[in-house]
Structure 1
Amino acid sequence: MKIETFQTIEEIFEFRRPMHTYQKMYGMKKTKRWCQRLGILPTVFFSFLVIILVGFFFRSMESNFLSQTNGLPLYTEIQYNQSITVGDKVRSLFGIETSYAAEPDVVVKDIAYRAQFLSQSVADPIEIEAGQSREVVVIFKNSGSATWKNNGPNFISAYTMEPRHRVSPFFNSSQIKMAEPLVTPGQSGSITFNLTAPSQTGEYLEKFYLASENHTWINKGYFYLKLKVVQPKIIEKVAEDITDKTVLEQTTEVVVSSTESQIVGKRVNISKKEIEAKGGERIKIVVIYKNTGLLPWQEYAIHADPIASLASGDNSLTFADEAWESTNLITKKETQVYENGVVRETFYIRTPIKIGEYLFTANFKSGDTVVGEPITINVHVTENAPLNYTPPKFVNEGFESSEVEKVPRLAEEPRIRVGLKVDKTAVQFRPIDDDYIIFDGEKQMGVLPEKKMANIQYDGVGTYNFSGGIRFYTKNIIRLVPKNDSHARYILLNIERPMAWVGPADFNEYRGKFEFVQGQVDKEMYVIVDTLLEDYVRGVAETGRGAELEYVKANIVAARTYAYLSKGKYPLFDVLGSTYDQLFLGAEVEQYLTDVPRAAEATRGMMVAYQDEIVTTPYFGNSNGYTKSWKSVWGGTDKPWLQSVKATYDLRDGRRQFGHGVGMSQHDANIRAKEEGLGYVDLLKYYYTGIEVGRIYN
């Protein structure tokens, strides 16, 4: 390049030698690269495609290798570490996630079946000597809305996977059933593996999936066990003669140090440390313990200490619940728990019956050895227990495995107040088979003799007028109470409630106490029938003539439970006597629906409970083939016992929905009792998921 002296610096730097000069000088011809020929966007797309293909190549090789080795030793230790190291580096280079136990692809056909993994009794990797056996328990929570069962149609089990239904070399089967007979939504179930290690040592990966037999795979039901089969341990026990140092014997005895031979554990968690509740309330407690030693727990139990009252000094008080084994033994399990195994136990306590400050203390034991920290909970009882509450009693207290004596929750039969709306300001009252005591509020005014009429009138501005042998005016509620017989009947002469489908009567005869009041909210006039609960259900006309007796029993139990839980529902009474709650027609129902008193007598005191709590039991006429869940109709918090179930006979008979659709379909239940021969308890358990039926009072 020649620079002229007259050129400026800008002209010098702006100089460019044309490209064709170089091509001419050196015989060069410019060639475009492949990426320049394709352009920017196609190049980026092609590069991304290459990365994806390489990633799939490595992933497919890994999956193929793992699937071929399920139930067989995976790798030797060196091969295993090398393969993961190389694989991880290659995959990480391309941004591909490492997965050693990828979840198999299954189809969940029923979303009501869902599980949540909770714990595994022995942590991975599970080491087993070749030819030896070991128990492993895997615990899942039923987080769906369907009840799990371990027998009958749709039972719950764990199937081997990849390949599916293969025979496992550890238990010589492809399937293991759930241990518990019944697991309702929210409760926990377990799969117990009794594993026997094959002779070939190495690492194994056993994959499983929970399933409802012939129905559906269970959502989130995948789990796996990492197993390590090792050679049996042979440790020489040497006995030396001090004089000649001669080796006397060689055995297979395993020698452990004194610290390793101890039963030890750790309390991992406790659900409550403080409780504030009324006396007699049932409180749920969950504790988790871990075996931190080398020796297994052959069994375990939770023992409650005698109650420590910080305020009352009453040694007769107790925390015992009906589900306990005895006064002090809460639970005992004949289950082995190996090192690093975790135990999750749920139990209940009853708060002491008297107001005060208390300390609940219990110990977790394996045999006679206390394991881990004790369970300690401060308990503050704010009110005395109800007078009708009876703490549980146990028999054969000299034996640790005493059985609880089933004591009804209520010491006596409860009463129910039924509101009957009337379009009159005066009622004519006449006792049928007993004298009635007349009350002005709490003040006794006199006695109305049997079969003598009285008139009770309201003036519309707050004053009641009573005339019948005696006469008085009052702003208090007038009550009439049978003198001798709590089941005594009376008739309301000017009230008519005809129901032709039940029978040719006015249905104006009732049992028990009587009140006539104006409603506080709607200002309507109400007759209040204050009667015993059994007399109430004998007067409920919710089943037709000719119905199956077992169905009538089921309906009576549902009606009794519904009424009991409705106590206090309204300001002046508990339930309405109309179909808004339950159709109550009184004493004359016994004459026309004769199966109703029979069913009431056969099921006296029986109610429905879910997880030991009495629960509401709605019912209705018939469905379109499926009942409805509580939440789908009324919203709010879901009620696990009120889920949709198939109403087979409603569907078969082409029924349309009549009623709200929640709980028991009366038409379906009646036909089911007739054609399947089901008893009332089985009928109730069909329509109310996961419930139990028990006697609440004698």
Structure 2
Amino acid sequence: MLKKQKTTWQVCYDKGILDNSKGPFFSGKNAGESVTEKTLRVFIFMIGVMVAAQLLNLFQSVYVQADQVPVIYGQNTVRETISQGYLGSYYKVLWPNQEQETETNSLAIGPERVLSAQVYRAQATAVKTVSYQAELVEQNYDRMEIETGKAFTFEVKFRNKGTATWSNCEGSYVAINVAGPTGRHSLFQHDSWTEYYYRPGRLKEVSVKPGDIGTFRFALQAPDVLGEHIESFGLVAENLTWINGGHVSLLIDVVPPQPPYSAEIAEMSTEQLELNPGEVSTVWFDMKNTGTVTWSNTGDHFLAINVIDPTGRHSDFQHDSWSEYYYRPTRLDDSQVLPNQIGRFTFTVKAPLRPGEYIENFAMVAEHLVWVPGGEVSLPIHVSKTVVDEQPNEPDIRVGLYSADTTNNQ
């Protein structure tokens, strides 16, 4: 007589558990069976064998997620594993002959699907923990000053410090997302961020093995919001985890757009003039082109110096050489001045006859276009009084007739 035994086994299958704890079909008690009962029992046995074969085949083809992803076992619990930040589906991987779950049961986590038998073989030998870790290597900008509406390319490199190979197209591909907080709309979002509004881009290399360096390169566009901004990004293994150590930040200072015409004083021939009434003197200003267009002294928009405060007035220091207009001392000396180069304006002034303290103001103008920002110059001029040398006092001289007494005293 067969001894009745209880067989218990569990297999993970599509997040579910198949359970068979019914024991064998035969109990060993077959005395007194009729032919019909015996035939029925044989038929049931045959069906049981077929079902068992199907279950065995099913077990051999069961899939779990465990390839090149963390396989955590030992004292770790599901809660502890989830707290590490892994995203996705979780499976308890059990041995076919286990009768109950123990602390040594493994937890397989990850995006790839492989045969459960392969997972079991790996566990039967040595279980390798696969992790995602990164280390910042370099970034092309720590700080950037940029005008509103302008864009620039930001590049950052990370070393793969984990045990998982990074990919840019398969499974849990590695990408860079905005952070601080995550999922937000970045002020610096560029039109090239096509995958998600919060994702500048993916890993540039097809794959990066542990120890190698991966590159992330993307565009940032300055908003209309002026001032300093700190923009943060983080690496993510898609649908799996934020990558430890994969954080980078940069300071972006958004400034007003630079006008096409702009200047600043580089040097002056003098900071103050001392003249006598009617005296003539030559002065010059060196101006740096801080704009974006080239200056010229010909054409429709040539550069010149005009008197201002107010504009169009007659200057007390107008000279006959101001031949183009009474309010214009001169044009640019140079034929052209490129951005960041220096141009000179040279002209002559003539002091008025009235002594006193004067401040003569000038400004650069792009003819028929615009007054040049930063192109203003003030020149203090002191006109002294006329000095006449005084002669020393002459001695007093008495002029008259002299009469001598010629009478003899006798």
Larger Rg: 2
In the superposition, the TM-score normalised over structure 1's length comes to 0.22
Structure number with the higher helix fraction is 1
Higher RCO (CA 8 Å, separation ≥ 6 residues): 2
TM-score (norm 2): 0.34
